[in-house]
């Protein structure tokens, strides 16, 4: 096995990094995960995730964690409503429930990020994750890498895997290509105790999801298992908007002033998003890497997930691609098909870039359609085709 007696450092403890750690440990590999969070409770986890049969769920099955997944996913949370800017209903999957389940290619079960993360954390050998290890830099040493962290600790690894997300600090060691701004700016929010703090929208979501589309803008709502309601707005803005808009995203009133102006042609129904101080906001400009990206493979470092192919979330593929990356990389390391690590990594990166490029193109087309005239018709055509 190519990775026998190799020390493998996975930088980043998100779904992609944890999936890879689990899969490699099942093969007997020496793996350490370095995560910047102080512990697994340190950070609020974002919106729910829908896993796909051919990617995310496939990785869960190969990780021998499907039973744990079934115990923690949220039946019905994938049920969708599509409305326009006035809240008028165009599609209601609650009215016509789908009779599909595990094993069906169209079944996309939802799970909150926290429980998914916990499933993988609990599956790893004790001590696998080193918390409070924020990556700063690394330098070549003895055929491997010496990694340095913000806590002033240094660790040697024979192989480094960048699973550190869209703003990866390891990616520049592999590729010098830059992300491209898509034109869409999202503002993500999370309302705590939504049944109390946003009762009308809580009732509209009905434990599932809502896609609200109109006037070249979007609002996507998702119910979470802890009673929160996560949402994200989407609209066309210039790349430097965050620095130029003057909004204090730590101040609800400041964000609300912007929303009432930018979404002035939407119903006041959506003002309930700002009815409580039990909320947080994060602005997220939507970047992506060029669909045809490539780079020269190295023998001791590679990347997966958003670090390799960040993209807007409008096709629901981000976490699924990261988990499939982990599965494919683990197989390239352990299937005995390749003569050396550089060849194994090169083959992994080739198939990853090809697959991610295709998904990026689909995602950008979807994003454009959802923020254009005819957005609802476009989305309904997709669901009718399914």
For residue 235, give its domain range.
180-288
Considering the domain architecture, whether residues 198 and 257 belong to the same structural domain is answered as yes
In a domain, 35, yes or no: yes
Q: Which pLDDT score is estimated for 385?
A: 65
Query: Helices 15-26 and 318-334 meet at what angle, rounded to 10?
Result: 30
Considering the domain architecture, whether residues 186 and 278 belong to the same structural domain is answered as yes
Answer for the pair 37, 52: CB distance below 8 angstroms, yes or no. Answer: no
Answer for the pair 162, 168: CB distance below 8 angstroms, yes or no. Answer: yes
CATH number at residue 27: 3.50.50.60
- Exposure on the CB side of residue 194, measured as CA atoms within 13 A: 24
Considering the domain architecture, whether residues 188 and 282 belong to the same structural domain is answered as yes
- Residue where one domain finishes, among candidates 288, 315, 347: 288
The answer on pLDDT for 41 being more than 90 is no
The answer on pLDDT for 164 being more than 90 is yes
Q: Which pLDDT score is estimated for 315?
A: 81
Q: Which pLDDT score is estimated for 45?
A: 61
Q: What pTM, to 2 d.p., does this model score?
A: 0.95
Considering the domain architecture, whether residues 298 and 230 belong to the same structural domain is answered as no
The residue-averaged pLDDT of 107-121 equals 94
Considering the domain architecture, whether residues 167 and 283 belong to the same structural domain is answered as no
In a domain, 165, yes or no: yes
In angstroms, rounded to a whole number, what is the distance separating the alpha carbons of residues 154 and 146? 7
In a domain, 252, yes or no: yes
The residue-averaged pLDDT of 341-365 equals 96
Considering the domain architecture, whether residues 242 and 194 belong to the same structural domain is answered as yes
User: pLDDT band for position 44 (50/70/90)?
Assistant: low
Considering the domain architecture, whether residues 260 and 203 belong to the same structural domain is answered as yes
The answer on pLDDT for 347 being more than 80 is yes
Considering the domain architecture, whether residues 23 and 165 belong to the same structural domain is answered as yes
User: pLDDT band for position 155 (50/70/90)?
Assistant: very high
Q: Which tokens hold the place of 172?
A: 């520049």
The residue-averaged pLDDT of 184-213 equals 97
Q: Is 43 annotated as a binding residue?
A: yes
CATH number at residue 279: 3.30.9.30
In angstroms, rounded to a whole number, what is the distance separating the alpha carbons of residues 66 and 119? 10
- Residue where one domain finishes, among candidates 288, 308, 330: 288
Considering the domain architecture, whether residues 186 and 209 belong to the same structural domain is answered as yes
Answer for the pair 280, 251: CB distance below 8 angstroms, yes or no. Answer: no
Q: Which pLDDT score is estimated for 236?
A: 98
Q: What rounded mean pLDDT belongs to the chain?
A: 95
The answer on pLDDT for 13 being more than 80 is yes
In a domain, 121, yes or no: yes
Tally of domains within the chain? 2
The residue-averaged pLDDT of 154-158 equals 98
Q: Is 277 annotated as a binding residue?
A: no
- Residue where one domain finishes, among candidates 256, 288, 320: 288
In a domain, 65, yes or no: no
Considering the domain architecture, whether residues 277 and 348 belong to the same structural domain is answered as no
Considering the domain architecture, whether residues 158 and 190 belong to the same structural domain is answered as no
The residue-averaged pLDDT of 193-198 equals 97
Indicate the range of 22-31, 36-45, 116-125 predicted with least confidence.
Answer: 36-45
User: pLDDT band for position 127 (50/70/90)?
Assistant: very high
In a domain, 95, yes or no: no
In angstroms, rounded to a whole number, what is the distance separating the alpha carbons of residues 170 and 161? 9
In a domain, 82, yes or no: no
The residue-averaged pLDDT of 162-173 equals 97
Answer for the pair 220, 386: CB distance below 8 angstroms, yes or no. Answer: no
Q: Is 248 annotated as a binding residue?
A: no
Considering the domain architecture, whether residues 297 and 359 belong to the same structural domain is answered as yes
Answer for the pair 309, 360: CB distance below 8 angstroms, yes or no. Answer: yes
Q: Is 36 annotated as a binding residue?
A: no
The residue-averaged pLDDT of 209-216 equals 97
Q: Which pLDDT score is estimated for 306?
A: 97
Q: Which pLDDT score is estimated for 298?
A: 98
In a domain, 92, yes or no: no
The residue-averaged pLDDT of 213-237 equals 96
User: pLDDT band for position 252 (50/70/90)?
Assistant: very high
Question: What percent of the chain shows pLDDT beyond 70?
Answer: 98
Q: Which pLDDT score is estimated for 386?
A: 55
């Amino acid at each position: 096995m190519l990775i026998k007696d190799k020390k493998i450092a996975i930088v980043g403890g998100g779904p992609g990094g944890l999936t890879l750690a689990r899969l490699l440990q099942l093969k007997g590999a020496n793996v350490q995960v370095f995560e910047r969070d102080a512990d697994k409770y340190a950070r609020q986890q974002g919106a729910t995730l829908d896993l796909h049969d051919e990617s995310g769920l496939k990785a869960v099955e190969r990780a021998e964690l499907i039973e744990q997944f079934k115990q923690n996913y949220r039946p019905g949370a994938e049920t969708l409503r599509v409305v326009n800017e006035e809240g008028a209903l165009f599609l209601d999957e609650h009215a016509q429930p789908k009779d599909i389940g595990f094993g069906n290619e169209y079944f996309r079960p939802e799970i909150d990020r926290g429980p998914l993360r916990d499933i993988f954390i609990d599956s790893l050998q004790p001590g696998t994750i080193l918390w409070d290890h924020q990556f700063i830099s690394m330098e070549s040493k003895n055929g491997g890498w010496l990694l340095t962290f913000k806590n002033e600790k240094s660790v040697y690894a024979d192989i480094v895997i960048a699973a550190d997300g869209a703003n990866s600090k390891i990616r520049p060691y592999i590729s010098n290509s830059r992300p491209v701004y898509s034109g869409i700016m999202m503002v993500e929010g999370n309302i705590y105790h939504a049944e109390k703090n946003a009762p009308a929208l809580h009732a509209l979501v009905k434990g599932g999801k809502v896609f609200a589309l109109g006037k070249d803008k979007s609002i996507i709502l998702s119910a979470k298992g802890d009673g929160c309601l996560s949402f994200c707005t989407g609209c066309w803005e210039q790349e430097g908007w965050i620095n130029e808009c003057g909004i204090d995203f730590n101040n609800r009133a400041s964000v609300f002033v912007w929303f009432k102006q930018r979404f002035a042609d939407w119903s006041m129904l959506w003002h309930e998003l700002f009815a409580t101080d039990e909320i947080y906001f994060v602005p997220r400009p939507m970047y992506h890497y060029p669909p045809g990206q490539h780079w020269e493979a190295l023998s001791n470092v590679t990347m997966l997930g958003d670090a390799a192919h960040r993209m807007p979330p409008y096709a629901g593929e981000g976490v699924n691609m990261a988990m499939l990356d982990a599965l494919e990389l683990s197989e390239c390391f352990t299937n005995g098909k390749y003569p050396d690590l550089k060849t194994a990594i090169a083959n992994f990166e080739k198939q990853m870039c090809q697959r991610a490029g295709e998904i990026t193109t689909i995602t950008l087309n979807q994003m454009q359609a959802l923020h254009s005239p005819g957005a609802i018709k476009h989305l309904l055509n997709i669901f009718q085709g399914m």
